[in-house]
């Protein structure tokens, strides 16, 4: 018997799809709702989750299906507000995963204005509007946001992505003060092998790849496993790899943030030491590497013009 619901945005692919699949098969008393812009992708995703019946959320009936999809542009405030009547019909919403988003990685000058706006829509507005509707109407007491580990350390190439993810981090900190009775989790994933990761590497500048290093992305399944395990253990600031944990530590040390993370006391100590003695040296090295990149790029541009 279905007694609660779980909502997953960005549920048509990647981590969102993996989370929906996990809960559908492991929480048999739950109703799963996946949201995304494309109806075709949502239907394909639903087929990957189950061979049984699935339905459009407009046709919701708790005795007919456990899996529902709804095509919606979550960056459109009017669309999100129109979703409210459908959400109120659902059994008690236990969790809402705000996974919708994606990275486009280029130098700032290479973006179009439209691409910059898209970055804000996908990575901030889509979570902002839905969480407003949910929290204002007391529909769910556990929201899981998805920022990024680059929000701890912004660097070249991520100008359309990191500012929105950093804003999301700030939003969660504010909402924790305004909604103390709700559980608000913030996940800071590192690289994982999704469709989005493949796409972002197609345009990623070499200097960005150099700074990130040669870290191998974990699988989507492993990323989901880490997130679910940490949520179940009570952590609400979650990283998916060691470098993310270290970067979070640097963000905490000598800073105003208080995190509900794994080994937070060690992070505070490490953050203080790193910010006093390690980060200043690293920033000098980083600036040197970036300057060299632009000098090399400038020489190649001048050579092309001469030809």
Give the span between the Cα atoms of 296 and 307, in whole angstroms.
Answer: 17
279 is a domain residue = no
46 is a domain residue = yes
Which of the residues 12, 65, 151, 165 is marked catalytic?
Answer: 165
Instruction: Output the pLDDT for position 18.
Output: 97
Instruction: Please report, for the domain that includes residue 22, its CATH number.
Output: 3.40.50.720
* Pick from 99, 76, 265, 74: nearest CA to 185: 99
Give the span between the Cα atoms of 210 and 226, in whole angstroms.
Answer: 26
Q: What is the residue whose two structure tokens read 């974990």?
A: 218
163 is a domain residue = yes
Which of the residues 65, 126, 131, 147 is marked catalytic?
Answer: 147
* The model scores a pTM over 0.85: yes
In the annotation, is 161 catalytic? Answer: yes
In the annotation, is 165 catalytic? Answer: yes
Task: Using DSSP, state whether 146 is helix, strand or coil.
Answer: strand
Pairing verdict, β 30-36 and 67-71: parallel
Which of the residues 161, 167, 194, 261 is marked catalytic?
Answer: 161
47 is a domain residue = yes
Give the span between the Cα atoms of 177 and 222, in whole angstroms.
Answer: 31
Instruction: Output the pLDDT for position 235.
Output: 95
Domain that holds residue 73: 4-272
225, 238 contact by CB (below 8 A): no
Instruction: Output the pLDDT for position 257.
Output: 62
* Pick from 56, 58, 51: nearest CA to 68: 56
What's CA 205's distance to the chain center, in Å?
Answer: 22
Give the span between the Cα atoms of 49 and 25, in whole angstroms.
Answer: 8
- What are 35's strand-pairing partners? 9, 70
Cα angle: 119, vertex 125, 130; to 5 degrees: 145
282 is a domain residue = no
In the annotation, is 197 catalytic? Answer: no
Give the burial class of 237: count Cβ atoms within 10 A of its Cβ; 0-12 exposed, 13-18 middle, 19 or more buried.
Answer: buried
Instruction: Output the pLDDT for position 285.
Output: 86
Q: How many domains does the chain have?
A: 1
260 is a domain residue = yes
Can you give the pLDDT of all 307 residues of the chain as single tens digits?
788 999 999 999 999 999 999 999 999 899 999 999 999 999 999 999 998 889 999 999 878 899 999 999 999 999 999 999 999 999 999 999 999 998 889 999 999 999 999 999 999 999 999 999 999 999 999 999 999 999 999 999 999 999 999 999 999 999 999 999 999 999 999 988 777 777 788 888 999 888 888 668 899 999 999 999 999 999 999 999 999 999 999 888 666 666 778 888 888 888 888 888 888 887 888 888 888 888 887 766 665 665 6
51 is a domain residue = yes
* Pick from 8, 71, 5: nearest CA to 36: 71
Give the span between the Cα atoms of 150 and 263, in whole angstroms.
Answer: 20
284 is a domain residue = no
pLDDT tens-digit series, residues 148-163: 999 999 999 999 999 9
């Amino acid at each position: 018997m279905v007694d609660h619901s779980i909502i997953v945005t960005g549920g048509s692919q990647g981590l969102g799809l993996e989370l929906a699949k996990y809960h559908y098969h492991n929480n048999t008393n739950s109703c799963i709702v996946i949201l995304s812009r494309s109806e075709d992708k949502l239907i394909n995703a639903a087929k990957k989750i189950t061979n049984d019946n699935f339905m459009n959320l407009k046709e919701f009936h708790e005795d007919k299906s456990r899996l529902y999809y709804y095509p919606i542009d979550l960056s459109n405030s009017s669309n999100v507000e129109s979703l409210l009547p459908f959400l109120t019909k659902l059994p008690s919403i236990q969790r809402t995963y705000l996974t919708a988003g994606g990275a486009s990685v280029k130098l700032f000058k290479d973006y179009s204005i439209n691409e910059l706006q898209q970055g804000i829509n996908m990575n901030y507005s889509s979570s902002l509007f839905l969480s407003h509707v949910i929290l204002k109407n007391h529909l769910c007491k556990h929201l899981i946001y998805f920022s990024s580990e680059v929000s701890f350390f912004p660097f070249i190439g991520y100008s359309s992505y990191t500012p929105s993810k950093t804003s999301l981090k700030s939003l969660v900190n504010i909402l924790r003060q305004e909604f103390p009775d709700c559980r608000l989790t913030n996940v800071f994933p590192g690289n994982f092998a999704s469709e989005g990761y493949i796409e972002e590497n197609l345009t990623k500048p070499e200097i960005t790849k150099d700074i990130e290093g040669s870290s191998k992305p974990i699988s989507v399944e492993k990323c989901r496993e880490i997130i679910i395990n940490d949520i179940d253990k009570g952590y609400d600031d979650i990283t998916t790899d060691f470098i993310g944990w270290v970067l979070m530590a640097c963000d905490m040390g000598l800073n105003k943030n208080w995190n509900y993370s794994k080994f937070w006391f060690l992070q505070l100590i490490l953050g203080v030491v790193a910010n006093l003695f390690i980060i200043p040296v690293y920033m000098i090295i980083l600036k040197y590497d970036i300057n060299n990149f632009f000098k090399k790029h400038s020489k190649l541009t001048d050579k092309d013009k001469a030809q």
